[in-house]
Amino acid sequence: MIAARPGGSRSAGGATDVKALVDELGAALIRAVRQGAADDLTSAGTGHSPASSSWYAFALEYLRMRWPQVAAKTRNETNDALCAITLAMLRDVRGRPSDELLRQALRNWAFVVPRPELRTAPPEVRLALRWAARASRPLTDLLDPAVMRAVLQTLRLKQDGTVAAAETQRHKRMTLVNAVRYAIEQGGLRDDPFANVNWRIAKTVKQVDPRVVANPAQVRSLLHAVSYVGSYRRARGRRLVGLFAGMYYAGLRPEEAVAVTLPDCVLPAEGWGRVFLHVTRPQAGKKWTDTGCLHDERGLKGRPPGDTRPVPLPPELVALWRESAHTFGTADDGRLFFNERGGVLASSTYDRVWHEARELALPPGLLNTPLAARPYDLRHSALSTWLNAGVDPTEVAERAGNSVEVLMTKYAKCLYGRAAIANQRIEALLDEYH
C-alpha cells in the first residue's frame, strides 16, 4: 500500500513510487510467464510431466523407453506407426508444412534413437519439427472418442489413402495400444481411451494360400534354373542354389538360411545330415539396428536367447551344401551363403535371382500365378509337402520352429492328401446305402 500524505493529496514522488511498483510487478509477471513456458517446453521435451505433455513429446519419451526392448524390425514398425499417429494428432495451426515433409522429418529425425542432432538437419526439417511440437494436441485429447476414432481411422490407411493390409493395420494399432498403456502407467492418461470407442480390428489372413505351394518336381526345376541366372564367372545364381534349397528341403526361414554356418552343419558323404540353428539374420535397415548394419543378429523366432533347433537335412540337400562349400568356400565367420564381398545376403539380392529363375523355369501358364512367387513360399511348400507325406504334425512343427496349433491353422488348406482321404471315406459311406 502507498500511504497518502495528510490532507488527502499525493505528492509527485508518491506517483513515481506507484509507477515504479507497477513496472516491477509487470516485469515479474512477464518473467513468471516466460519461466512457466520454458518449464512446459522442458517437461514436454523430457517427459518429466506426462500429465501435461503433448502427444508429440510423449511419443518421443515412449520411443526412448521402447527402443532397447524390441528388435530392429519392430523399431521400424514402431517408427512408422508413431509417424501416422502423430500426423493424426496435429491441430490445424497456421504454417503447416506438407504431409510429405512432416512425415520425412518425423521418420528420419524425430522418432529415431539416438536422435540425430537437429543442428545438422536441413532448415525445412527443423521448421517442420518445431511446427509439429507447437501444433501437437495434448496427450489427454486421446480421451475424446472423436479424436481417438480419427486416429484409428488413420491407422487403417496407407499414405496414398487406400486401405492398408490387415497385418499392417494390426501392427500400427498394437503400437498405439502399447503407447496408451505406457501413458496410463506413467499417469499421463487417467482412463483407457479405447473403452469409449467401438472399433473393429481388421482380420488377418493366417492361412497359406494353396496356390503358392510348389510340388517337388516344380521346385527342382526352379533350383536348376537358379544356377543359370547371371554369368558363370560371377555366379549370381549358382552361389544361391543351396540357399533356396535350404528353404525347401529343410523348411528354413530366409533369415535362418542366410545365417547358416558350416561349423553348425553335419554333412556326411552319404545319408541324412543335420544343421543346428541358433542365430538368425533378419534384414531390418541400418537406422534400426544397434550395430548400424543392414541385418540384425537375433536368436530363433519365438524362442529364448541361446536356444537351438536341430533340423534334419535330406541327402539331396546335403549334397548341394557340400558342393556349395567346395565351390565357393565360406565367409569369414563360416557362413555358407554370402554375397560377392563376403557380406550377409540382402533380401533384394536373392529376390532378384529368384524372380529371374521363375521366368526361366515356369511355363507361361504358371508364370503369372502366385506359384512360388517369393522365396518364402519354398518354406510353405516344404511344410505342406511334409504334412501331405503323413509326417506327424508334432515332428513337422519341431523341424519348422512352429507350434502345432500355428502349423495346422496356417496349412489347413494345403493338405491335399488328407482331403482326398476324407473324400474317399465319405464316398464309401454313401455307397453303403445304395
Band of pLDDT at residue 140, cut at 50, 70 and 90:
very high
In a domain, 282, yes or no: yes
Q: Are residues 226 and 363 in the same domain?
A: yes
In a domain, 333, yes or no: yes
Residue 266's H or E segment, with its range, is strand 265-266
In a domain, 393, yes or no: no
pLDDT digits (tens, 9 = 90+) for 312-353: 999 999 999 999 999 999 999 999 999 989 999 999 999 999
Q: Which of residues 351, 371, 391 is at a domain's end?
A: 371
Report the domain count for the chain: 3
In a domain, 31, yes or no: yes
Q: Are residues 177 and 258 in the same domain?
A: no
Q: How far apart are CA 51 and CA 190, in angstroms?
A: 9
Q: Are residues 20 and 72 in the same domain?
A: no
In a domain, 325, yes or no: yes
**What percent of the chain is predicted at pLDDT more than 90?**
68
**Which residue is associated with the grid cell 532378384?**
352
Q: Are residues 142 and 276 in the same domain?
A: no
How big is the CA angle at 379 (ends 289 and 301), to the nearest 5 degrees? 40
Is the pLDDT confidence value at 25 over 90? no
pLDDT digits (tens, 9 = 90+) for 43-63: 334 444 444 689 999 999 999
Q: Are residues 36 and 76 in the same domain?
A: no
Q: Are residues 224 and 334 in the same domain?
A: yes
Q: Are residues 97 and 242 in the same domain?
A: no
In a domain, 383, yes or no: no
Is the pLDDT confidence value at 228 over 60? yes
Q: Which of residues 196, 228, 259 is at a domain's end?
A: 196
pLDDT of residue 11: 45
pLDDT of residue 285: 87
**Which residue is associated with the grid cell 517337388?**
216
pLDDT of residue 42: 36
The residues near 316 (Cβ < 8 Å, ≥ 6 apart) are 245, 249
Look up the pTM and report it. 0.76
In a domain, 309, yes or no: yes
Band of pLDDT at residue 399, cut at 50, 70 and 90:
very high
Tell me, what CATH number does 221's domain have?
1.10.443.10
Q: Are residues 144 and 241 in the same domain?
A: no
Is the pLDDT confidence value at 31 over 90? no
How do strand 273-277 and strand 265-266 relate by DSSP bridges? antiparallel
Q: Are residues 224 and 286 in the same domain?
A: yes
Band of pLDDT at residue 7, cut at 50, 70 and 90:
very low
Is the pLDDT confidence value at 10 over 70? no
Q: Which of residues 371, 391, 414 is at a domain's end?
A: 371
Q: Are residues 116 and 240 in the same domain?
A: no
User: Is the torsion defined by CA of 116, 121, 126, 128 positive or negative?
Assistant: negative
Q: Are residues 173 and 78 in the same domain?
A: yes
Report the side by side order of strands in the sheet with 273-277.
265-266, 273-277, 309-313
Are the CB atoms for 273 and 266 separated by under 8 Å? yes
**What percent of the chain is predicted at pLDDT more than 70?**
86
Dihedrals phi, psi of 331, to nearest 5 degrees = -70, 170
Q: How far apart are CA 178 and CA 58, in angstroms?
A: 13
Dihedrals phi, psi of 237, to nearest 5 degrees = -85, -45
pLDDT digits (tens, 9 = 90+) for 172-223: 999 999 999 999 999 999 999 999 898 887 676 678 999 999 999 999 999 9
Q: Are residues 55 and 135 in the same domain?
A: yes
Q: Which domain holds residue 31?
A: 15-41
In a domain, 342, yes or no: yes
Are the CB atoms for 298 and 71 separated by under 8 Å? yes
